[in-house]
Amino acid sequence: MKPTQMETHPKGSHARILLSSVFGPYAQDDEFGSRSINPMELYHNQVTRAQGSFSLRMFHRSWGIMMIQENISAPCSVLDFPTRKAFARELTTNHYDVVGISSIIVNVGKVREMCRMVRELSPDSAIVVGGHVAAIPGIEAMIDADHIVRGEGISWMRRYLGEDEHAPIRHPAIVSGLETRIMGIRLPNRKGGTAATIIPSVGCPMGCNFCTTSAFFGGKGKFVNFYETGDELFDVMCGIEAELKVHSFFVMDENFLLHRTRAMRLLERMKEAGKSWELSVFASANAIRKYTMLELVELGISWVWMGLESPRSSYSKLQGEDSRQLTHELREHGIRVQGSTIVGLEHHTPDNMVEEIESAVSHQTDFHQFMLYTPVPGTPLYQEMADQGRLLPDVDFADVHGQYKFNFQHSAISRDDSKKFLDWAFWRDFESNGPSLYRMCQTMLKGWQRYKDYPDPRVRERFAREVKKLSSAYNAALWVMEKEFKQVNRTVSDRIHKLRREVEKEFPVVARLTAASLGPILLWSTRREENRLAKGRTYEPPTFIERRNWVPAS
């Protein structure tokens, strides 16, 4: 039974819905497609994974199903990060008319198993599968689902339940990161202490040929906007600020700064209302260049995730940009930069790969993500590789995530070497630039020094808020990093020392006191963590169950 065309559920908005992410545990090798190299952690998976106990560890909820739940009026449970047992228990203790499973491509094996479980434990339920997994060609034959949903899911689910698909989008209050830990310490879950996630749109109109999010929501020239204007966005952010008591927002929009009119209207509203917000955004270099540094700073941009593809590659976002200069400038203005570099582009060879990685590392970003060039199902690149017969047969989808080995025949680099280059890139960035936490401290201090007397009180307040951490706990962390990094790279350790002295000059009493009191404890926890990691310690997210419009089954 594999109809994918639209039909309305007979119970409409009275249908009882379960929306689930795929089951864990995630950070281990198993037959369902979990891989130890592919944990459910943003930074440790693809950014700071070579940084040992200095790696930033945290989880992020499955926002797609949270958005869908918030925007339908049917009784609905969201089950996030279940175990197989928890999923089975939920299916058997509550009767569901519809079971929605959200997944990305790597987890297709888990989707298959979950569909099987639904058929066995809740045979009357209709199964709906959505998220990027739906882009796999021939998925209909791989899993036993009733509906496979490609693209935007809120409007699909509203149509399926006979609701108004064009109704305004309500935004759930989402705490961005969970169970953050670094240097062996789990940070306390203080209300308002973590950013809120805001999702203004899905997709990206730039349409780079390898880009899966762009392709999934329509490709070049297309994307789905949930909030068109700065006014709408401002209102949503005010609501979430009040509910979660946050000043900081993780803006989950593939290219937030590209939409200048919306961003500038948001800035106007922030100024009128005296909002001292911090925004972490994804943006391409040419979109960033549409703003002056002061505009970015006043808009509260404090962290930018930016593609830094090789200057020799053909991706339009870097044309004419000197990305090294831009990175430097942003950091000088207190804006943390997370660079993103692709390893194994078409023009890469064993002879130029080292030089290309060195060029990426020389950007001296705060964070650096490296990813293998990967044709992912649903993208133009995948089609191209398939047409050229270059996709490698027998590569499990569970291994197609860009952090392991090529899934295609590269013209010059072997599959095994792709992993070696990728691992080396992470290591080289860590070794020559130091822990990301140290680099962030550098950027924070620069921002504070430049803007502490700025005329706009919103801006002063923001930098003062950030620097509070630097003058206390982060200075203790600098003391530890300086000590521990001596064994890795003495020059970097000396640089950390210099930064610590500068911090202590700005904040002579607090900074010294915290380094002296908290430093030794952090040193102990860092070393303990290093030992645990060496013994194979991994981390898993907790399971969540959240019900909305809920009525117990009769």
Which chain residues interact with ligand B12 by CB under 6 A? 19, 21, 26, 38, 40-42, 45-46, 60-65, 67-68, 100, 102, 104-107, 128, 130-132, 135, 149, 152-154, 156-157, 199, 202, 212-213, 252, 254, 376, 401-403
SS3 370: strand
Question: Which of 133, 174, 204, 398 forms a contact with ligand SF4 (CB under 6 A)?
Answer: 204
Q: At what angle do helices 323-332 and 436-451 cross, to 10 degrees?
A: 60
How many whole angstroms separate alpha carbon 235 and alpha carbon 100?
30
Residues 227-266 that bind ligand SF4 (CB under 6 A): 254-255
Among 33, 39, 172, 207, interactor with ligand SF4 by CB under 6 A: 207
Stretch that binds ligand SF4, among 117-125, 211-219, 261-269, 486-494 (CB under 6 A): 211-219
Pair of tokens at residue 12: 């409409």
Nearest distance, CB of residue 446 and ligand B12, angstroms: 27
Q: How far apart are CA 519 and CA 480, in angstroms?
A: 6
Minimum gap (Å) between residue 384 Cβ and ligand SF4: 16
- Given ligand SF4, ligand B12, none, residue 69, with its beta carbon under 5 to 8 Å by kind, binds none
* Strand duo 76-80 + 278-282: pairing: unpaired
> Shortest distance, CB of residue 206 to ligand SF4, whole angstroms?
4
Q: Determine phi and psi for 345, rounding to 5 degrees.
A: -65, 170
Query: Minimal distance in Å, beta carbon 215 to ligand SF4?
Result: 8
Which of residues 45 and 284 has its CB atom nearest to ligand SF4 in the complex? 284
Calpha distance 483→134 (Å, rounded): 48
* Tokens standing for residue 115: 């569909």
Give the range of 51-59, 64-72, 204-212, 413-421 binding ligand SF4 by CB under 6 A. Answer: 204-212
**3-class DSSP state of 194:** coil
Tell the smallest beta-carbon distance from residue 214 to ligand B12 (Å). Answer: 8
Helix 457-470 to helix 473-485 angle (10° resolution) is 50
Ordered DSSP codes for 11-49 = TGGGS-EEEEE--B--SS--TTS--TTS-S-HHHHHTST
If you count DSSP H runs as helices and E runs as strands, how many of each does the chain have, helices first? Answer: 19, 18
CB of 268 to ligand B12, least distance (A): 26
Nearer to ligand B12, 181 or 401 (CB): 401
Partner whose binding site includes residue 200, from ligand SF4, ligand B12, none (CB under 5 to 8 Å by kind): none
Phi-psi region of 64 (alpha: psi -120 to 50; beta: other; left: phi over 0): alpha
Q: Which amino acid is it at 361?
A: V
DSSP letter for 408, please.
B
Nearer residue to ligand B12 within complex by CB, 151 or 193: 151
Residue 24 binds what, of ligand SF4, ligand B12, none (CB under 5 to 8 Å, by partner type)?
A: none
Tell which positions 470-489 bind ligand SF4, by CB under 6 A: none
Say which DSSP state 473 is in. Answer: H
Give whichever of 109 and 219 is closer to ligand SF4, judged by the CB atom.
Answer: 219
Q: How far is the CB of 502 from ligand B12 (least distance, A)?
A: 33
Stretch touching ligand SF4 by CB under 6 A, among 51-59, 206-214, 393-401, 451-459: 206-214
Three-class DSSP category at 198: strand
| Site residues (CB under 6 A) for ligand SF4, limited to 19-48 | none
Residue 256 interacts with, from ligand SF4, ligand B12, none (CB under 5-8 Å by kind) = none
- When asked if residue 211 is in the footprint of ligand SF4 (CB under 6 A), the reply is yes
Question: What's the closest the beta carbon of residue 214 comes to ligand SF4, in angstroms?
Answer: 4
Q: Which CB sits closer to ligand B12, 198 or 515?
A: 198
Per-residue buried b or exposed e for 341-362, using 16+ beta carbons within 10 Å of the residue's own CB: bbbbbeebeeeebeebbebbbe
Strands 147-149 and 544-548: unpaired
Task: List, as one string, the DSSP characters of 137-169.
Answer: TTGGGTS--SEEE-S-HHHHHHHHTT--TTSPP
Residue 180 or 212: the one with the smaller Cβ distance to ligand SF4 is 212
440 binds, among ligand SF4, ligand B12, none (CB under 5 to 8 A by kind): none
376 binds, among ligand B12, ligand SF4, none (CB under 5 to 8 A by kind): ligand B12
The rounded distance, in Å, linking the Cα atoms of 120 and 125 is 10
The CA-based dihedral angle spanning residues 167, 172, 177, 179, taken in that order and rounded to the nearest 10 degrees: -140
Taking CB under 6 A as the criterion, the residue among 147, 158, 262, 317 binding ligand SF4 is 317
CB of 295 or CB of 540, closer to ligand B12? 540
Provide the binding-site residues for ligand SF4, judged by CB under 6 A: 204, 206-208, 211, 213-214, 254-255, 284, 307, 317
